[in-house]
Chains A and B, each alone.
Chain A
Amino acid sequence: MVLLVDDDEDFRRALAANLVDDGHMVIDYASPDDVPPLHTLESLSILILDYQMRGEDGLSFADRFHVFHPDVPVVMVTAYLSRHLEGAAATRPYLVLRRKPVDYDELAALLPVRH
């Protein structure tokens, strides 16, 4: 299952549509604040999220997520790729950073094989 967190509704909907079309199960939220307690989430194959969001920012959430799900890869997609973010991503081996717009196929390659 793909966990998708992005406050841009259009993008979230479009990406979810691609994922579903591609055979993946998706659960999506607009903000990290809406995500259920991390320890209750199961069978996650990947976390895809934005950086700038309403509520907690993507980096902070990703760090907390990683504590509970250390083996689940994280892809951060963001429109504005600042040096700050690049630096932060460089020190987080579990995090892959991509600038929006993203190529779906490239994203799909990071996903484990679908069921």
Chain B
Amino acid sequence: MAKQRGDRPSVETLHDLRLADARWRAVLSLARDPIITIDQQGLITLFNPAAEYIFGYAADEVLGRNVSILMPPPYRDEHDEYMQRYRRTGEPHAIGRIRSVQARRKNGQVFPIELAVSESQVGEEVFYVGIVRDVTEQRELERAAQERARLADIGAITAKIVHDLGNPLAALSMQAQLILRRARRGDFQPVAPVRQPAEQILQTLGRLESLVHEFTDFAREHRLVVRPIEVGKLLQSCVDLWHALAVERDIQLSVGAAGPLPLLHADEVMLRRVLDNLIKNAIEAVDHGPGQVVVRAALLSEGKLCIAVEDSGPGVQESVDVFKLFETTKAEGTGIGLAVARQIITAHGGVIDHVPRLPTGTVFRIELPISGPASRG
């Protein structure tokens, strides 16, 4: 191709330039990653369609504006400084490396990105190209994978602990049962010195056994068996179990619904466990009456059902997270029951929390979607 001397470019050169330009435009349009160029002042000179999509700005909204608008603090305020320092010292900071930083969309959302920056020069004009990769989804997948690995570890550790604790417990229990049976049979005379300690041993073993069971429950995957449930009947039957104890302790135990209740899609066995736990806690909170424990259900507007268990006990301290594993305010509490309760409710797509009751006491509230837990794809 003959290069022409003179001021005006030849037809062929113009054609080549147009071709090169069209090529690059095609590439920029098609690229899935945001590609942005800025001048020496940091002003945006190019903003490809991917950039528009990822950042939420139309190109003409950002052209001519400082690129720092695409950054959240602290990068935002530092960027001008970086550019000046680079021009002064020639020491690159961002250029030539891929950095993990944060960016900011038009709607204010801050998101993680990987950024590559290069420098180019044509004549006196220096410009910088930045290619961005939105790694929001990638980070989320990494986090989810880490969480799954952590849970798998917990599962494996629990299986080991339960096996290693459970077996000696079972052996102790068997020996104690043997002693007791022999004592009752009259193999020892007098029997009381042997029978009583044997019974105490079995009682203590029973407590350890409960602890191991509860811990197993916590580590188990809660795969739900979801069926439509008549909430009113469920609550009544849960409350009935505690009726005798409540009467004995002079505690008023009642159940009610604020209006008609729809069928709730949930795992009845699991829900019973949660309610049983909450009612037990409520009764223990009141301890001895006079006092009240009220179990109530109400339909909330957004397709949610609220079940509340209220007690007139001393209330829960602000600083205590009762749902945290092993957190307990009870002398003989395991601190596992409420952690399991939260797991079960969360598995249903619901939430559980507690608020203080006036004048004293606590209300534990469960909110569950009526239609059941959302199916996972």
Binding site for B on A (CB under 8 A): 8, 10-11, 13-15, 17-18, 21, 52, 77, 79-83, 99-105
Contacts and interface: CB of A to CB of B under 8 A. Distances in A.
A105 B166 CA distance: 19
A83 B177 CA distance: 29
B174 A81 contact: no
A21 B174 contact: no
B163 A79 contact: yes
Most buried by A among B163, B177, B216: B177
A11 B177 contact: no
Contact of B163 (A13, A17, A52, A83): A52
| Secondary structure type dominating chain B contacts | helix
Nearest first, the 5 A-B pairs at minimum CB distance are: A79-B166, A14-B174, A10-B171, A100-B170, A101-B173
A8 B163 CA distance: 10
A87 B48 CA distance: 56
Given A80-B159, A83-B220, A83-B221, A15 B166 contact: no
Contact of B171 (A8, A80, A83): A8
Contacts of B181: 18, 21, 104
A14 B175 contact: yes
Contacts of A11: 167-168, 170-171, 174
Given A80-B163, A83-B223, A14 B178 contact: yes
Contacts of A8: 167-168, 170-171
A55 B44 CA distance: 69
Nearest to A79: B166
A105 B184 CA distance: 14
Contacts of B205: 101
A4 to B, nearest CB: 12
Q: Interface size bucket, B side?
A: 20 to 34
8 contacts: A11-B171, A14-B174, A21-B178, A77-B170, A81-B216, A82-B220, A101-B169, A104-B181
Contacts of A21: 178, 181-182
Contact of A101 (B178, B209, B216, B223): B209
A4 B220 CA distance: 28
B154 interface: no
A77 to B, nearest CB: 7
Contacts of B177: 18, 103-105
A101 B174 contact: yes
A100 B223 CA distance: 23
Given A14-B178, A18-B177, A79 B220 contact: no
Nearest to B182: A21
Contacts of A83: 220-221, 223
Nearest to B223: A83
B307 to A, nearest CB: 26
A70 B177 CA distance: 31
B355 to A, nearest CB: 35
Given A14-B178, A18-B177, A79-B212, 10 more contacts: A10-B168, A11-B168, A14-B172, A15-B174, A17-B175, A18-B174, A83-B220, A83-B221, A83-B223, A103-B177
Interface in B188-244: 205, 209, 212-213, 216, 220-221, 223
Contacts of A99: 166, 213
Most buried by A among B174, B212, B221: B174
Interface string B40-69: 000000000000000000000000000000
Contacts of B220: 82-83
A104 B209 CA distance: 15
Nearest to A9: B171
B151 to A, nearest CB: 15
Interface in B146-181: 159, 162-163, 165-175, 177-178, 181
Contacts of A77: 170
Given A8-B171, A101-B173, A80 B178 contact: no
A83 B216 CA distance: 11
B313 to A, nearest CB: 33
A57 B162 CA distance: 17
Given A8-B167, A100-B167, A101-B209, A79 B162 contact: yes
B174 A79 contact: no
Contacts of A104: 174, 177-178, 181
